[in-house]
Structure 1
Amino acid sequence: MEKTYTRFEHYSGDRTYQNEQLVEQALANSDFDQAATQGKGFCRLLDKAYIFQDEKLSEYSIVIYTLDEPGLLDSAAKREYVLSEHDEMIIHRMAVVRNGQYLDKADDVQIRILDHEEQGGRGFLTNRKKLSLIIKDLHLQDILIFENTLVSHAPQAGLKRDFKHVYQEFPDPFWFYDRYVLRTVNQTSQVMTYKSCFFRDAQHQVIDPIAIDLPIGESYVFEADNFTTDYDPKLEVRPFIDFATKASYSKVSDAAYQIYEKVISQNSTWLETSAPDLLVELAQHETLDEKIRFVIEFVQNSIYYVYDAEIMDGHEPQEPQITYESKQGDCKAKTVLLKSLLDYLDIASTCVLVNYEADYFIPFYCPSPSNFNHVILKIAYQGRHYFVDATSRNQFGFLQYRSVPEFMYYLPIEPQADLQFREPFWHQNYLVEETVTCMVTEGVGQIDHTLLLRRQNADAIRQMFKNESETYLFNCYTTSLYYNMCLTDNFSEKELSEYFTDSKIAIVSDNQDLNELQIQHDVTLLKPYTVRIGKKEYLNYWDRTYLDDKARDFNSRDLPFWLSHAREKLTFELRTDRKINDKEKVTLQECKIDSDFLCYQTTKAVDKHGARMTIDYSVKTNAAIKGEELANYLSSDKKIRDNNFGMTIDLFEQGFFDKLKKSFVKK
């Protein structure tokens, strides 16, 4: 029998509303009646309740608001919900108040249930359904009344049943509420807890969140008349309350480990019977470094990533033998397979839970497995720890040279493990080493441009050369030179191919074990000098890569700024057959910065016909900074902006005899 995802049923909960009561609420005078004329939304009533029970979660809601603009009319006329196979939508009331009269619209509701299958390039799959409620004959200025309950039934066993969790954001300041009610009822057999986050005191300062217990059988209630939120959505985090079954992270990790243990505790003997060909390939690699690289890249590139939303919610990993034989799996399956292969090599590793998108907020949430949406592997090798994301692709190198995922918090899937903080770090090696030499003779520049790239930079550029056309590569690299050499007054960006000629760009070496990629770009520049007031000529190179515009423009009052930069070294040399002013301040100026989050040094060598500048740039990465730390970082960035991110050489004006000499040479 096909599952029914929705039905009509009168509400029989702890708080019921009569039709007459709702009409009175809809028509009552309010302090916020002028909200619509101020361009704001006005809601007469929002009463929302989460009823937690061991076997299900019921999300009840009743809302009354005026359809006073076309956008609200459109959204009311068609409501869409995505339901899993465990969900059910119960409609209690669909009505409008029109001309002071209550009109039941239940018979005007058309229900459509469609498959909500999604499948993208990375294999996102879900068997959820899309529920569409289409309401006929709604008018502008109708006052809509909609009452419903979304019931989510818990599975028979698993983390989702044992650890309840709801995250509830408070409304956007766009909305005014005549009456606003938020309730949470604990009818489970366990104590729950909640944390109110990013709420503000009378001085508009964020109040530190405190975990408060919600005992069995008790309720949390927030209710207010004439309510609106007071925060700036562009600068501040929307306040929210996080509700969850009371637990510690050690309890969460214990529960997760019990699910994973039956899979990860299996020995690797299955490889001999199910993957003999893989073992033959593995044996062809002599060193342990080579073997580790082989198994990582096999899992990343040869096992197709399939994200199944239903399975992911259950946190239950697929057995590695099944993943290998089917050649597909989600993050858990791929990570467990990689761990099994490393176990075969006697390399210690641990599955860990992360959440790249909401990483910063994890300490604000109540401890729960729902705080994490991804699994990666932590590998112990030669006295160091490395993190590998088994769902990544097209990454290369021995373990110590591979791309490094960035996140702050993770939970090891081990007995009694606690939430771990990953310390910020400095890259030990340069991820980019760049040299640029421009030699100008007779007004024509010959540019020799070399790039040596490592880790994620090498991975990214390797793929760019693989996937992009020669025209794209030419535009990419010459555009960078065009702006760095300040040529915008000489010719437009559309004329690059006219002034950058004889371009040759290619990968000249690719050591995939060390994950090092070298690019060579040679090009002729027909108009290298810039001319300013008084017809003085200059040769420039200013690389804005070293200016952190994102940090400068960052203005969140609540969130930290995330530091994620490669360690880079740039050496560029500008030479000319003409004499330069070797005493000019901007040509000679050097800089050294040694701060907590940024180390930066420039050195220069200047002679009569040119100058060379080296920039050594390193930023502490995987770091979230705010307050005084951010201010200090911006102070360092400001010093770089003070003519320390490049160089201009000032050419002496040619005299009569210089010009005469050139005319003879040309003849």
Structure 2
Amino acid sequence: MFTKTIQQFALVLFILCSLSTCYAQIKVGNTPNWVVNQSYEQNPDIDLKEISFGLLTLLSDEQIHIPKEERYIRIVRKITDNVGVQDGSMISINYDPTYQQLLLHNVTVIRNGKQMNKLNVNDFQTIRQESNSESYIYDGSLNAVNNLADIRNGDILDISYSIKGFNPIVGNHFSGATTLNDFQPVGKINYYIIAENPLQYKTLNSESAPKIGSYKGYKTYNWESTLTEKPLFEDNMPSWYLPYEHLFVSDYKDWNAVVNWALGIYETDLQLSTALKAKIEQIQKNWEDEGDRITATLKFVQNEIRYLGLESGIGAYKPFSPNKILEQRFGDCKDKSYLMVTMLRHMGIEAYPVLVNSLLGESLHQFLPSPNVFDHVVVKVVDSDNEAFFYDPTFSNQFGNYSSVSFPDYGKVLVIKEGVSTLEKIINNDKSLVEVFDIFELPTVGGPAMLRVMTSYKGAEADIMRRRYKSSSLSTIRDEFKSYYDNLYDGVEVIEDPTFDDDSIYNKIIVEEFYKINDIWEPLVGNEKNIAVNFAPYSILDVFISPNEKTRKTPFALFYPTHKKHNITVKLPNRWGVEKDNIKVNSKSFDFSMASKLDGSGRTLYLNYEYQNKNSYVAPEDFEDYYSKNKAVENILSYYIYIPKSEAINKPIYNTLGPDTDDLVSSIATIFYWVFAIVIIIVIGLVVFVIKRNKKG
């Protein structure tokens, strides 16, 4: 308790000190003399119907003087609707006070052609926003905020400022990125760089080329776009897809240059503390097998070093010493990864830090080499059989042996190993599986049903479920589970609390639930004279994404990896006749199958579904195939049984509506009923006739 209090006090002191420091670093000054003034149109040829939130950007200007380590920003926006007054009145400038200084140049409001100076440093407040605090990351950055007074519809706001100072961790290197368009049309975008060393540059979704010039012996690069068009946005695009006109600039020659930069941050000749040596020796003593040592080290770093990052200044890139991480028992992704790598290396196991972009990894090859493109650090381990495995030390409660621990689909990564000069594509061998077993008991027609659910989670799916039940109370989980079934059926009652059986060796969790469904029978859509029960593989429906359009120009995201089996057993109140189904739908993107059958008694129905996707997205050229196969699956995802309302309550079921059937089933059942009745009458008549004849004899 005392240690925790000290840590909390230290964090508060760190915040207060940063606040007092940052306020002193906000100053007012003239526009730097190296800045090239940009003109703009106050009424550009842009359709205001294309403008959202009532704000039209007339000018977006960013200019960078690399040798001076200064960045100049100017934004000119016009309020085109009264809804834009709210956001248009707000100025918010983010910077890191540990190595940056904010210099305000201009805050001007233009109204009816008249300019009003609104620049007053005392109107600015410094706020520590910490947008990542929910993820236990404190980056030390601040927002200088000013809510301007008396802002009206039609006003033009012209704001400019400079931020002095680059992160010292990058040394003499520079890399940057911007977009040459925005989510809506923009009057003008300008990007200007003064550089001492030659720069590589690359555009994506754009043919824009720079104007190259000179300034006082330096080389200049200038990109300019006017009357920009918004990019194409389609629903359900992958997070890694880059729809904007991107511009990348870097003086890193290749990815090997980034690796060499990172090698200077992750020291290999570290002198271990007594405590860290003891921990390594303990693992070696307890575990002789190499795989067991890897697993033990991973579990220690994941579960006993809590996740917390204080990432101001160079802390955004440079990890703390593993000695310190062990002592304080907390760290962020790079700290925990560095600790794990250090421990394994001192056991003679090959291990490396790995730079990752957790969202854009699939498109990382489209970027120019730069350390700025990464936002996460993980670990690569190569065992004595030369097999490579990846681990994320920021996770917790991952089970299974060292060769089966799940790892996210991070796409392409950069391994920090001497000589590496290319990105490495992670091959996802995830064997996750969710298998659901539903058992419905329907003792009467029209009455309530009992439902027992057993769900088996394997691999990454087990990790997700484990984190869920470990971080929530049983009553919370019970209520969440019930809420899920409330969306499927009416009148759901919980009969028993859910139970969890966790197999840590095989990383498998089995969850059991038990419900009573009072109103499972509902009027049949399209035929109100009948009541029906709908059985569907809801676990597959949760991840099965149905598109609205047949064609597409951008990738279509899928839940990946996904492998689900959903088995439904229905215990019927009487014999039931239905043909067997065995349907398969295969596409370039997924495989789906559905099978149905009755047991020998005719009173138990079995429905078996399986779905597995093959990739994290559907490419535009494959979308037509995905669309048609998706629609084919939609037609067989629901399975109905139905019966006339007049036959409800304690009556047998005669009618069914399974996949690809219609009212023909009802007609056949009716014909069968009358044929059966006629046969019975004939049989009775023959028996009576025989009896009478025998008596006469």
Residue type of the partner of 2:547? R
Q: Which of 170, 173, 179 in structure 2 is aligned with 1:163?
A: 173
What SS is found at the alignment partner of 1:557? coil
Partner of 2:583: 591
User: CA separation in 2, counterparts of 1:83 and 1:550?
Assistant: 40
Cα RMSD, aligned residues only: 3.9
| 1:245 corresponds to which of 247, 251, 261 | 251
Q: Pick the structure with greater CA Rg.
A: 2
Please say which of residues 400-409 and 131-140 is displaced more in the overlay: 131-140
- Structure 1 residue 356: deviation in Å? 0.9
1:95 equivalenced with 2:108 (yes/no)? yes
- Read off the aligned partner of 1:503 and give its amino acid letter: E
| CA shift in 2, pair 1:393/1:445, >3 Å | same
- 1:443-476 deviation digits (Å, cap 9, x = unpaired): 5544332222112222222333344455544444
Unpaired runs of at least 5, structure 1? 200-206, 661-667
> CA–CA distance in 2 between the matches of 1:359 and 1:228?
27
Alignment pair present for 1:516 and 2:508: yes
1:81 aligned to 83, 93, 108, which one? 93
How many Å apart are 1:7 and its aligned residue? Answer: 2.5
User: Is the counterpart of residue 404 in structure 1 residue 414 in structure 2?
Assistant: no
Tell me if 1:343 matches 2:345: yes
Tell me: CA distance 1:70–1:528, structure 2 relative to 1, closer, same or farther (3 Å): closer
Give CA-to-partner distance per residue, 1:128-163, whole Å, 9 cap, x none: 3332345555555444433332323452xx4x2333
Is this contact kept in 2: 1:432–1:569, CA < 8 A?
yes
* Conserved? CA contact 2:198–2:219, under 8 Å: no
Query: Partner of 1:127 in structure 2?
Result: 140
Structure 2 counterparts to residues 654-665 of structure 1, below 5 A: none
Tell me which residue corresponds to 1:192. 199
343-352 vs 41-50, which deviates more? Answer: 41-50
After the TM superposition, which residues 43-62 of structure 1 pair with which residues of structure 2 at under 5 Å, given as runs? Answer: 46=59, 48-61=61-74
Give the length in aligned residue pairs: 613
Give me the whole-angstrom Cα distance separating, in 1, the residues matched to 2:118 and 2:485: 65
Distance 1:407 1:149 in 2: 35
- Residue 294 of structure 1 corresponds to 296
Residue 665 of structure 1: aligned partner: none
Q: Distance in 2 between matches of 1:527 and 1:66?
A: 57
Q: Which moved more, 1:43-52 or 1:125-134?
A: 43-52
SS at match of 1:552: coil
Report if the CA contact (8 A) 1:186-1:217 is conserved: yes
% identity of equivalent residues: 15
Q: 2:191 maps to what in 1?
A: 183
- 1:13 equivalent to 2:33? Answer yes
Aligned counterparts, 1:525-540, within 5 A: 525-526=517-518, 528-530=520-522, 532=524, 533=527, 535-536=529-530, 538-540=532-534
Match of 2:537 in 1: 543
CA gap of 1:617–1:161, structure 2 versus 1, over 3 A, is same
Amino acid at match of 1:240: H
Query: Cα 1:387–1:651, aligned 2, differ >3 Å: closer, same or farther?
Result: farther
Q: Structure 1 residues 400 and 110, CA, compared in 2 at 3 Å: closer, same or farther? A: same
Q: Residue 376 of structure 1: CA displacement?
A: 0.3
User: Judging changes above 3 Å, is the alpha-carbon distance between structure 1 residues 315 and 465 closer, same or farther for their aligned structure 2 residues?
Assistant: closer
User: Where in structure 2 are the equivalents of 1:20-35 lying within 5 Å?
Assistant: 30=43, 32=45, 35=48
Which amino acid in 2 is paired with 1:422? K
1:231 aligns with 2:235: no
- Unpaired runs of 5+ residues, structure 2, are 1-19, 236-241, 653-697
- Flag the 1:145–1:470 CA change in 2: closer, same or farther, 3 A: closer
- Structure 1 residue 324: Cα displacement: 0.9
Once the two structures are TM-superposed, the CA of residue 409 in structure 1 deviates from its matched residue by: 0.9
CA distance in structure 1 between the partners assigned to 2:538 and 2:151 by the alignment: 55
Compared CA separation, residues 240 and 574, structure 1 to 2 (3 A): same
Secondary structure of the residue that 1:579 maps to in structure 2?
coil
- The one-letter code sitting in structure 2 at the alignment partner of 1:465 is Y
Q: Deviations over 1:465-518 (max 9, x none)?
A: 34445554444445555666xx4xxxx3xx322xxx6335312x3211221112
CA contact (8 A) 2:557 2:617 kept: yes
3-state secondary structure, aligned to 1:254: helix
1:418 aligns with 2:421: yes
Query: Is residue 193–residue 211 contact of structure 1 (8 Å, CA) maintained in 2?
Result: no
- Larger mean Cα displacement after TM superposition, 535-544 or 386-395: 535-544
Give the superposition deviation at 1:181: 5.0
SS at match of 2:325: helix
CA contact (8 A) 1:581 1:650 kept: no
Partner of 2:221: 220
Aligned residues of 2:552 and 2:623 also touching (Cα < 8 A): no
Q: Offset at 1:313?
A: 6.1
* CA distance in 1 between partners of 2:518 and 2:391 (Å): 47
Q: Which whole-Å CA distance do the structure 2 matches of 1:576 and 1:427 have between them? A: 38
How far did residue 368 of structure 1 move?
Answer: 0.8
Conservation of the 8 A alpha-carbon contact between 1:186 and 1:192 = no
In structure 1, the partner of 2:158 is: 145
Aligned residue number for residue 328 of structure 1: 330
Structure 1 distance, partners of 2:515, 2:136, is 42
**Contact residue 492 and residue 518 of structure 2 kept, 8 A:** no
Scaled by the length of structure 1, the TM-score of the pair is 0.79
Give the SS at the match of 1:363: helix
| Amino acid of the structure 1 residue aligned with 2:299 | E
Question: Counterpart of 1:303 in structure 2: which amino acid?
Answer: I
Structure 1 match to 2:667: none
- d(CA) in 1 for partners of 2:71, 2:258: 23
Q: Aligned equivalents of 1:45 and 1:433: distance in 2?
A: 55
Contact 2:338/2:353, CA 8 A, preserved across alignment: yes
Aligned 8 A contact 1:109 1:136 in 2: no
Is the 1:176–1:228 Cα contact (8 Å) retained in structure 2? yes
1:537-581 C-alpha deviation (Å, 9 max, x unpaired): 555421143345435259873345244133222322112131212
Shift of 1:604: 3.2
Alignment of 1:421-460 (within 5 A): 421-422=424-425, 425=428, 427-428=430-431, 431-443=433-445, 445-460=449-464
Secondary structure of 2:312's counterpart equals helix
Q: Does 1:306 align with 2:322?
A: no
Q: Is the 8 A contact 1:173 1:228 kept in 2?
A: no
TM-score using structure 2 length: 0.76
Counterpart check, 1:600 vs 2:592: yes
Equivalent position of 1:648 in the other structure: 640
| Residue identity in the other structure for 2:453 | H
> CA offset at residue 618 of structure 1?
2.3
* SS of corresponding position for 2:631: helix
Q: Distance in 2 between matches of 1:123 and 1:647?
A: 46
Does the 8 A contact of 1:426 with 1:618 survive in 2?
Answer: no
